[in-house]
A and B are shown apart, each in its own frame.
Chain A
Amino acid sequence: MDTLLSKGIIADSLWQIGTTVLGVIALAIILEVIIYLIMGKGLKSKHAIPVMLLTPAIIGISLLVVWPVIYEVSIAFSNMSAQVTETRDYFRNPEYGPAILFDHIAKIFTQPILRNELFFPIFLRTILWTGIQVFAHVLGGLVLAMLLNREIRGRGLYRTMLVIPWAVPQVIAVLAWRGEFNIEYGSFNTILRGMEMAPIQWYSDGLWNIVAMHLVNIWLGVPFMMVTLLGGLQAIPKDYYEAAEIDGANAWSRFKAITFPMLQPVMTPVVILGIIWTFNNFNIPFIINLNKLETSDILVTALYRAAFESPNQYGFAAAFAFIIFFILFGISLVQVKITGTLKELGLTQKKKKKGAPIEAPSAEVV
């Protein structure tokens, strides 16, 4: 075999990875010892142990999340881009200043983000995308979970097969789906042709491209919801239903009065996560959009294109990124206020035990 995978490379890679892992661990231990000596022995602080436990993560996060964010803020105040002219290298030596930031912000709201599309159409599209997706995920997941929660044969098998979209590497799944939207060979158009209807141009027709995005993401997102909600459903004691049945409650009122409220604690956090993930979803809108239609871009893909596709306006993109971040933050904040999720997430100490009296769901799911 004459591939790149030679003995030298194997040894090299093992050495590199090994030293990295051991190095990180050694560094962490040294740090712990230092903190222990200073805070535990020296200052006799009662917070010594949590600080010790948290320090490695804090360092890591400040290095890879906090510092980049700060750096990004500074870029937002600059006109950094990949451009190099005779007078100035805009990558290594950009201009800084608050005026530039205001310029960026003005440009975001008044001029096209990329070539044609303005900010607000993209924003509305993103909201629509998130709303439809999360609703479809919850609905699909709930229906499937409730079906799987009934006593039927082969539940485990069904569940296994239904989980597969979640398990398959996303890039592969999306690429495979993209093939299905091919105008000549894709399944959808083959079926349409079979019914003697005109084939749909999934890649070049703006509306259908968005439909394709939605279809693929629903396929990808339902399994996660299903599994989570199934766990929640199985944690609801059967006695409740039996009691309701004896009282003569019909299926709908049982669902309304028992299932839905009891699922709430499971559903709320995953819905919040779902909104964040869908809003920030990059792979699906980016990969499905083969022809780079601007009319299919959501905020995140527009951000990527503004930054990394020509003309590489890093400064402008950084300002744009913060606007996206604040939008998402605002949405989440409103949601948290409305649902009182913080309570559910156990962030307020005293009301902790007041949640639904749910037994821990059994680890066994058929």
Chain B
Amino acid sequence: MSNKNKPVSSKKKFNLYRWFFFRSRGDSPFVKLIIHVVLIGACFISLYPALRVMTVSLRSGNNLLTTDLDIIPTGRVRAPADYQASQLDLAREKTQDEVQAVINERIASDVERNNTEVKNNLTYLTIQKLGGTVAGFKDLKDFVDNAPKLTTSDLAKKLNTAWHKVAELSGDEAQAAVEKAYGTKGLEERSVTLPSKTKVTVKAPAQVSEEDLVKTLSVDLSTKVPDKTLTMRFSKKETTLKIPAEATAQELDLVFYKNEVLKERKIKYQYSGKEITLQLVDTTAKKQSFKESDLEDVLYRSPAEMQSLLDVKLKDSIKAGKLVIERGASLKLDIPRNMNLDDIKDVLAKVPTGPVSARVLTVEGEIEQSFDPNIDLKALNKAFLEKSKTVPGGNEGVPFGEAYIMFRVFPGGDLTEVVPDFPAQASEGDNPAYIKALLDKQIRINKINQKDQQVFAKFTLDGKPLVFKDAEGKDTEIIAMPFNLGAQELGKDMLYKVTNAKVLSFNTATLNNYAKILFDKDSDFLLWIWNSLLITISTAFLGVALASTSAYAFSRFSFPGRKAGLIFLLTTQMIPGAMLMLPIYVLAKNLGLIGTWSGLVVAYSVGSIPFSVWILKGYYDTIPKELEEAATIDGATKMQTFFKIMLPLAAPALAIVFLFNFMQAWNDYMLARIMLPDAETHTWPLGLTKLQGQFNTQWGTFSAAALMVSVPVVALFLASSKYLVSGLTLGSVKG
């Protein structure tokens, strides 16, 4: 020690390093550090789901199990460099593979025409799916490298003239325009070369001059639509351009790319307030190399995109509407099995009819009936139960009935979502098509069969119901909706479609979910907890009482069948739980215990006896017999030695057994499910599962409830885990 010679101060200086590593003992600090790292990793894994559940419970949304969301992935396809997005039929709904198929088809036809260049010039196109922006990188690079040097006025001119070239009609539109201008008589096929050098084939009268035809096929957008201002700054001069207000991001991009505006210059966009500033940066004559990511950030962004990226102001840039999603589910309601078709019809006759269909499936046959979407299922269920009591075989309903109703219900309440600023597209019909495409994509991804699509939704935008096309092309207001897609996400997707901007999250932390599950008038959470607590505590007491005495007999007395009894107890652990369900149900039924807690309490406390006996017996064995012998000599009866000596000494083991019983009863689902059919008697696992499964998982409230249920158990468990270790090992170590 270096301070040997100095007077030792009474207070040693606290050294964190020494304290942390116990310097004097055990492994070297390096090894300890590794151990710490491994343990911290393990702790992270062990806590991970809890952390996630906590995060979800604090969110305002109710639908997803994630913190932030990359809404639409950017896909890549391989295509020749000179293929332009506008030439490909890149419908928004198309998947990456489908786009690739379109491109491949075109390549194949080009190759047939001996266009060998196409084959040798494959490069990647980046597609931002659903946004519809596609451009070839190689194309762009050539364009940047080879464009002539231009002055700002040149650029302005080019941009304005170029605009009109883009606004050309082709295909069906072109044909329609021609027919509108010249009538439908005497048409013959003619090929017209438009100013942009694209050829269009239309059917038109022979006498019309090509010049006129070109005019007809070109739409002068500047006269049709109001202008908006785009300020461009080149070097230090500023130019203000007027461009058609309808110019979309893609179109604007195409104008810039197609017209070879720039050479050896780099464009920089700057956004300030309401204006987009384009800045050309001179980069001398040397070759410029671009990274894909640079290009994406700088060149590919249109003003609209930039604006939405920098500052998503929905109200300023995009028309916003109020989208209401009423969500419902296809739901199975079991019917007591003693009812025949007529009995079921009787009950259903009293249910108000409405626009939502339902199928009643029984062994005897099917009934189709229409329902009011806001049907009260609890009441219906009750009506069935009451009816079943009046028909033959009443009061002995079978738990797992074969007859059931498939409903589509729209219960309102939590399942209705409102997005006040849902981005509404310009054209009518665009919203439904887009929403449908998104939902279909989800359905495809999750591989949900048409039969199994159990969640349905009605959409209204600004009070008007949206009309969708169903699989057969018919108009419908109700469509299948994947359970995991919420309105918020839909809004985000839509926003992305309109602006190409990815929005990470609308949500902020709230305690709403907790308040909802605890105090909402429809929430039965407190009832479930009350029921569970009562059942669990009484179970644990009874279980300990039963096991502690039996274990004492096994530990201290020798009697015929002792060994066999112990092995028998071990054997009972091997019986699959599902095997005992039916007999226990029948027994409880015969004793009239279904729907009461009494049966459950007895079943739980007996069910845990084998395990408890093993633990307790092991612990009793460690307590020296001499103690009891001494007590007996002092005149204590067997009863007294048991209660006054054994039990106090075995307190830690009793605590563990109590805890095990408690946890087992607290967490049980299977037995409770068959024993407690009525909503008033539900324990929390039944309630929580209902919360999780009935319509769609309401992850927010579910997580809040799950957390509130788990925290006390975990706390109890951790507090007693000290004894737990000793109890478990003692039981098994000492023979």
A179 interface residue per 8 A CB criterion? yes
Alpha-carbon distance between A270 and B725 when the two chains are bound, in angstroms: 13
Q: Is the CB of B622 within 8 A of A360?
A: yes
Alpha-carbon distance between A31 and B586 when the two chains are bound, in angstroms: 26
A206 interface residue per 8 A CB criterion? no
B14 interface residue per 8 A CB criterion? no
Chain A residues whose CB sits within 8 angstroms of the CB of B442 once the complex forms? 184
Q: Is the CB of A9 within 8 A of B680?
A: yes
Q: Is the CB of A282 within 8 A of B527?
A: no
CB-based nearest B residue for A162: B46
Q: Is the CB of B43 within 8 A of A158?
A: yes
Q: Is the CB of A230 within 8 A of B725?
A: yes
A83 interface residue per 8 A CB criterion? yes
Beyond A67-B587, A169-B709, whether A193 also contacts B602 by CB under 8 A is no
Bits for A225-259, please: 1 = Cβ < 8 Å to B, else 0. 00110111001000000000000000000000000
Q: Is the CB of A280 within 8 A of B337?
A: no
Alpha-carbon distance between A108 and B324 when the two chains are bound, in angstroms: 52
Q: Which of B268-276, B283-291, B576-584 contacts A (4 or more CB under 8 A)?
A: B576-584
Q: Is the CB of B582 within 8 A of A75?
A: yes
In the assembled complex, the CB of A119 is this many whole angstroms from the nearest CB of chain B, namely: 15
- Chain A residue total in the interface (Cβ 8 A): 131
What is the interface residue range for chain B against chain A? 35 or more
Chain B residues whose CB sits within 8 angstroms of the CB of A204 once the complex forms? 446-447
CB-based nearest B residue for A358: B733
Of listed A5, A13, A85, A179, residue having the most chain B CB within 10 A: A179
Q: Is the CB of B527 within 8 A of A4?
A: yes
Of listed B400, B574, B609, B702, residue having the most chain A CB within 10 A: B574
- Name the one of B35, B577, B621, B717 contacting A150, with C-beta atoms under 8 angstroms: B35
Q: Is the CB of A282 within 8 A of B577?
A: yes
Q: Which of A51-59, A110-118, A130-138 contacts B (4 or more CB under 8 A)?
A: A51-59
A161 interface residue per 8 A CB criterion? yes
Since A158-B43, A228-B728, A291-B447 are in contact, a sample of 18 more A-B pairs with Cβ atoms closer than 8 Å, ordered by chain A residue number, is A13-B534, A47-B557, A50-B553, A53-B549, A61-B606, A72-B579, A72-B583, A82-B402, A158-B42, A159-B721, A169-B710, A171-B689, A179-B52, A193-B73, A280-B574, A280-B577, A312-B402, A363-B725
Question: Hey, which bits of chain A sit against chain B, CB under 8 A?
Answer: 1-5, 9-10, 13-14, 16-17, 19-21, 24-25, 47, 49-51, 53-54, 56-57, 60-61, 63-65, 67-69, 71-72, 75, 82-85, 91, 144, 147-148, 150-154, 158-173, 175-177, 179-180, 182-187, 190, 193, 201, 203-204, 219, 223, 227-228, 230-232, 235, 265-266, 269-270, 273, 276-277, 280, 282-283, 291, 299-300, 303-304, 307-308, 310, 312, 314, 317-318, 321-322, 324-325, 328-329, 332, 343-347, 352, 355, 358, 360-365
Q: What are 30 sample pairs from A and B whose C-beta atoms fall under 8 A apart?
A: A1-B519, A4-B524, A17-B601, A20-B538, A20-B602, A25-B545, A47-B560, A49-B553, A54-B553, A61-B606, A83-B402, A91-B337, A150-B32, A158-B39, A159-B721, A163-B718, A164-B47, A167-B714, A186-B65, A186-B66, A203-B447, A232-B733, A307-B578, A317-B578, A321-B579, A329-B574, A346-B621, A346-B735, A347-B563, A361-B730
**6 tightest A-B CB contacts, nearest first:** A346-B735, A68-B583, A231-B729, A151-B26, A60-B606, A321-B579
Question: Hey, which bits of chain B sit against chain A, CB under 8 A?
Answer: 19-22, 25-27, 32, 35-36, 38-39, 42-43, 45-50, 52-53, 64-66, 69-70, 73, 337, 363, 398, 400-402, 442, 445-447, 484, 519, 521, 523-527, 530-531, 534-535, 538, 541-542, 545-547, 549-550, 552-553, 557, 559-560, 563, 565-567, 570-584, 586-587, 596-598, 601-603, 605-607, 609-610, 613, 618, 621-622, 638, 652, 663, 666-667, 669-670, 679-680, 685, 688-689, 692, 699, 702-703, 706, 709-710, 713-714, 717-718, 721-726, 728-730, 732-735
